Structure 1
Amino acid sequence: MASDRPLRIALVWRGDPHAVPLQFPRLQPIHDALERVDVAPAPVAFSEAAVEEARIQLLACDGVLAWVDPLTEGVDRTRFDALLREVSEAGVWVSAHPEVILKMGVKEVLARTRSLGWGTDTHAYATAEAFRTAFPARLAAGRIRVLKQNRGNGNQGVFKVELEDPAQPVGPGSLVTVLEARSDRPEPGVRLGDFMARCEAFLAGEGRLVDQAYQSRVGEGLIRCYMTQNRVIGFSEQFPRNLAIGEPDLPSFGMAREKTMHDEAAPRFQGLRRSMEQDWTPGLQALLGIETRDLPVLWDADFLYGPKTAAGDDSFVLCEINVSCVVPYPLTAVDAIAGAAKALAAAHRSRRASRDGD
């Protein structure tokens, strides 16, 4: 009987399925943690050129843990997500499921959850007309705004937009300075109308643009809160790239890739931990309609420092949720990730066996 064999969970990344050896070193700690709980890990490199091969491998598993970015060298997840939906329909547990990603792993989540304590002045545009109508007025009111494409990674499509002469009326001819988060060099003297026309490409199809208030404390760095479903499993800190490359006179916006990891008990972040576990994650689930069992076993929420409270404590503003490809992660958390994956995959296998009469 299938229920007599050890659980088998695929670890999936984008790569060459015929590479020798077939490995993704950054997933090795989770691979080893799965083995420690008597789960057989199955490495699977996904390529659009070998979808059928991947399908056969995934359908032979009880669960799938996926690390595939929304965009890799211009290639999106369309075919990969279709495959995950197919194997999920067949009874294989998938984390993160594409439908969950569409709810919480996109920038629009910043607007949909702005009523939570992590929220700020944030809006989502679904059409070019809505963008053209509302964005100039919001820029005029705040002088600096941050625009983000709905699905992306590696700071692609994230722009700081700053009025060069905020005393003047704002219109298509107004000059702005634009800085993309993956760049170190601002682009001054850009006509607002021209920049907005460029951004309209992000609204094609089901695209969205998210418009968020600029956080003046961005120069103090970013806090990443790692989660297994609704539990905090660790933190990391990142600091602005201009400091990392030794050019403090450049604007602070995009973050350096290097991270300082902390476990879930790090004293500095216990207030953030309580907020995530007791208030914000339950609030996210209620607003988006996500059951705890459907939350990913590895996801993270990225925060910038917000205004100080009246008591002088830090507040935190959500700037992104990562679900599709969370690496690196705290090595202290791999046993929690493996344990959750085992429990969820086992439950799915049991339901699958009952359905199939095994």
Structure 2
Amino acid sequence: MKKHVVILEARGGSDKGPYGFRKDSKPIIDSFKKRGWSAEIIFYRDEDRGEIYRYIHEKADAYISRVNPGNLPDETGYFQMLKELVSNGIEGLPHPDAMVAYGAKNSVEKLKGTDIVPEDVYAYYDFDTLKENLPKSLAKGVRVIKQNRGSTGEGIWRVEVIEKDKYKGKIPLDAKLKLTEAKDNHTEEKSLQDFLEFCIQYLEGPNGMLLDMPFLDRIIEGEIRVLMLRNKVVNVVHKKPAQTKDAFSATLFSGAKYRYDKPDKWPELVKLVEGMVPTMQKRLGNYDLPLIWTADFILDTDKKTGNDKYVLGEINASCVGFTTSLELSEDIADEVLALLDAESAVNNRWAAFTR
């Protein structure tokens, strides 16, 4: 082993400290040093892709990706480089395919019908499907439409039909909509036709997609973010939207208030999430779990029992931060080294016995 790990970051973004890198990356480096390993941060740019690939392949045992794809002009080259590294013996944390599978908004749609996602969730990959199906789902009630990429609530819209009682069944294209974006809770009005055309931008490109799910009124009680270290819950963040008209966003930028809890304050949720991990892993491609990832939940009420239930809103796996719990760097380093030690015990040329 080379006993070296590279942490990949991208320049820019609101998650950086005064020296340009993430505030919670340096603690990871320090934790590796305590264990006799070295680690460093490399800023990815497409222009440097070949040089970065050769450096990591020669010097490192693993990479930890902490790049928000939204901070890259085009993420294609980045994922190509990661795939090449993994295929040539570098441990990927996470594997690039796992990053896509867990981080894409359609991960929620792939889990529908489970204990954490209702059936009434849809993914749209082209305009014709969007135009055909969104008017039908709007007839059921208020919806949330989410673009595949983006961060801090950008491209996440609460969509409500104005004067809905005028219509029966499929909502017509000239119906007026009230739209609220999670980025800053601002509202605007558009006809359904205009909103459909506006959404074309979210369908463009190889990763274009929209998620359509019901709006849950209890979001005003707060969104609950579960921070995972592979298959274990390590922290829970309760994010309560600002108490202002139309507010539903749980981002700090929009004025939401955050409370940071230990897992033992949320025993039912922890049991649910950790119990769901095998199902999530199977439905999302059977990849190794990401190193650090989050699952965001909203409270709903079970119509049959009247009890609380947790509904998954999204999964994040690309660049999850833990600045409020920097001590987690110790657990992260231990997990990485245990994984590398386990991997080194197996010669990858010979397949394991399977029945």
Listed as ranges, the matches of 1:110-149 within 5 Å are 110-120=108-118, 121-142=120-141, 144-149=142-147
CA distance in structure 2 between the aligned counterparts of 1:348 and 1:270, rounded to whole angstroms: 32
Which residue is 1:182 aligned to? 183
Q: CA deviation at 1:31?
A: 1.9
| Mean CA deviation greater in 325-334 or 207-216 | 325-334
> Which residue does 2:334 correspond to in 1?
339
TM-score (norm 1): 0.86
Q: Could you say which residue in structure 2 is the equivalent of 1:300?
A: 294
Q: Is the 8 A contact 1:225 1:236 kept in 2?
A: yes
Aligned residue for 2:46?
48
Q: Who is 2:37 aligned against? A: 39
**Offset of residue 251 of structure 1:** 2.8
Match of 1:273 in 2: 270
The CA deviation string for residues 61-110 of structure 1, in whole angstroms up to 9 with x for no partner, is: 001111111212x7232211111111111100011222112222111011
SS state of the match for residue 167, structure 1?
A: helix
What is the match of residue 195 of structure 2?
Answer: 195
Whether the 8 Å CA contact 1:62–1:346 is kept in 2: the answer is: no
Q: Report Cα offsets for 1:249-280 as digits up to 9, x if no partner.
A: 34333432563322333x2x1111001112x1
Instruction: Deviation per CA, 1:186-220: give whole Å up to 9, x if none.
Output: 002x1110101111222224321110000101111
User: Structure 1 residue 289: deviation in Å?
Assistant: 3.1
**Shift in alpha-carbon separation, 1:150–1:21, aligned structure 2, 3 A:** closer
Identity of aligned residues (%): 25
* In structure 1, distance between residues paired with 2:84 and 2:136: 44
CA 219–197 in structure 1, closer or farther in 2 if over 3 Å, else same: same
Q: Deviations over 1:16-75 (max 9, x none)?
A: 8xxx97753321222222223332112212122322332233212001111111212x72
The residue identity in structure 1 corresponding to 2:337 is K
CA distance in 2, matches of 1:147, 1:300: 20
Instruction: Give the number of aligned pairs.
Output: 335
Match of 2:214 in 1: 213
CA contact (8 A) 1:62 1:348 kept: no
Give the SS at the match of 1:202. helix
Work out which of the residue numbers 95, 105, 108 in structure 2 matches 1:107: 105
Could you tell me which residue of structure 2 aligns to residue 290 of structure 1?
286
- The more displaced of 302-311 and 162-171 is 302-311
* C-alpha contact (below 8 Å) 1:223/1:302 kept by paired residues: yes
SS in 2 for 1:52: helix
Give the residue type in structure 2 aligned to 1:162.
E
| Correspondence for 1:256 among 231, 252, 255 | 252
2:268 maps to amino acid: G
Given residue 183 of structure 1, which amino acid in structure 2 is its aligned partner? D
Q: Mind listing any 5+ residue stretches in structure 1 that lack a counterpart?
A: none
CA contact (8 A) 2:181 2:187 kept: yes
- 3-state SS of 1:281 partner: helix
The alpha-carbon deviation at position 235 of structure 1 amounts to: 1.1
For residue 231 of structure 1, report the CA deviation from its aligned partner: 1.3
Structure 2: distance between partners of 1:50 and 1:135 = 42
Distance 1:36 1:296 in 2: 23
* Between 157-166 and 46-55, the greater mean CA deviation after superposition: 46-55
Say if 1:92 and 1:349, in contact at 8 Å, map to a contact too: no
Partner of 1:30: 28
Q: Is the 8 A contact 2:61 2:91 kept in 1?
A: yes
Structure 2 residue ranges without an equivalent (≥5): 13-17, 351-355
Report the equivalent of 1:85.
83
Judging changes above 3 Å, is the alpha-carbon distance between structure 1 residues 202 and 129 closer, same or farther for their aligned structure 2 residues? same
